[in-house]
Structure 1
Amino acid sequence: MIFPVPNTMPAWLDGRAVEQQLERIFLHPDFSSSEILKRFLTFVVQETLTGNANCLKEYTIALKVLQKPVNFNPQKNCIVRIHAGRLRRALYHYYNAPGADDEIIIGIPKGKYVPVFMDRQQWLEESLLNKSYEVNRSHAETEPLTFAILPFNYHSANEATRTFLDDLCLQISSALSQVKQISVISYQVVKSMADSYSDLKELSSALRFNHIISVGAQYQQNKSRVNIQIIDCHYYRQIWSRVFDCTITDSNLFEVQDGICQVITNQASNYSGINIKNQTI
């Protein structure tokens, strides 16, 4: 279920009305048989209504809803995303059966954990716009490839490594922008916004890219180890990686960067014109 996201919070939104709506939703078998789904939806709704929507991150939900330990690592454990998917399906089942005529619609947009609220009329209007978008999108044979280049462990690196990373990321961005059927988000924009998002999907949704190229480097004197990863943002799937060990001098710096960029460009080019959901490099 693709939940349309309204531009503004409904003026009629009332905490008591939302509580009553939750009570109706929880009568549905998908919820009455699952304490986790009830806790999950109750938590994200209450946090949103009390002004804490910005705290609804994967880690917080793992601790508060699923009672995971403080050392929980959302990059290694996808349990929150699994239950979020179950929650979206359960809401879909409810609003397509007993809740079809309800005046308050509660949904969790894909890639996010913050709920949105609509009245019935707003839901219908947004749904029509969303269906129109999906029809137009389905006419395209493939999803456009859009890459973002992001340095890894940038702030903990020394000045020489940060300079090397910046130069390399800028060159990768420039090289990829020359590839037909590939779009590249400005490196400076991605770097400036990355710290504001703890979740990769949230950043990719905000800037509208579907793949990220993570660039890490260790740089000492004239030696460098560069670690490159290409990640599918839809599924958190690492689809390609390579480690480059380089000896760098003043005379070959550009040659080394050109060589790394060429390898990355070749890999990215393999995706051009291919359905990214079914193809692996």
Structure 2
Amino acid sequence: MLSSSGFSHAPRARSLLAYMVERYQSGAVRDLQEYAIGLSVFRRDVATYSTVDDPVVRVQVGRLRRKLDEYYATEGRSSGIHISIPARGYVPEVVLQHSPRVVPRIAVDRLSYLGEEAEVASFNRGLNEELTYQLHQMPDMAFVLGQETAGAELPEGWRATHKLSGSLRADSGTLRVTLRLLDVQRNSVAWSSQTDVDRALSIEQQTRLSQACCVALRKYLQQGG
């Protein structure tokens, strides 16, 4: 903030703000009174200084309030910390601003089956249907089937931030789903996970496997991924 264009050419405002915030952070609020500020920041003579006759603190704090308003309207618009000076008093108010959470927009490709068994291929088709359903139960996330985006009516400006793809493999005793989440902007794999369940080609197992995949994906995204 002190190096921003609004403060870089205003040495009095810089010194005043630095002093006030430092005293606030250290808990020395007794130093945030008009008389103390006049002596410490504006170097008034303790023998002659009178807040009645010399309004320097009131004037400069008024200017500081305007500069803070200008800063947060321009360069500090996305700042994570908001500092203000109350209309009465000189103890600053400091508020942490949480940036709005960016909702992931995920294009979902259907899971491919890496095998030749007709029964498992049929199971995989049902698994894709169940996974699509489970994904759309996840709050605060937007999904669209990746293979259908070309002809879909999507909201104006909608663009995927990630792409979810994966595969199903099977042996005599195990079904394994591997998922990969691609960061579209970076064109790199942001996350990958494998989920194993016993081989049981049933709707119940499709549900169990899909839910386990969604739990793993949700955990990653909620951690800020």
Which of 1 and 2 has greater Rg?
Answer: 2
Same fold (TM over 0.5): no
Give the helix-richer structure, 1 or 2.
1
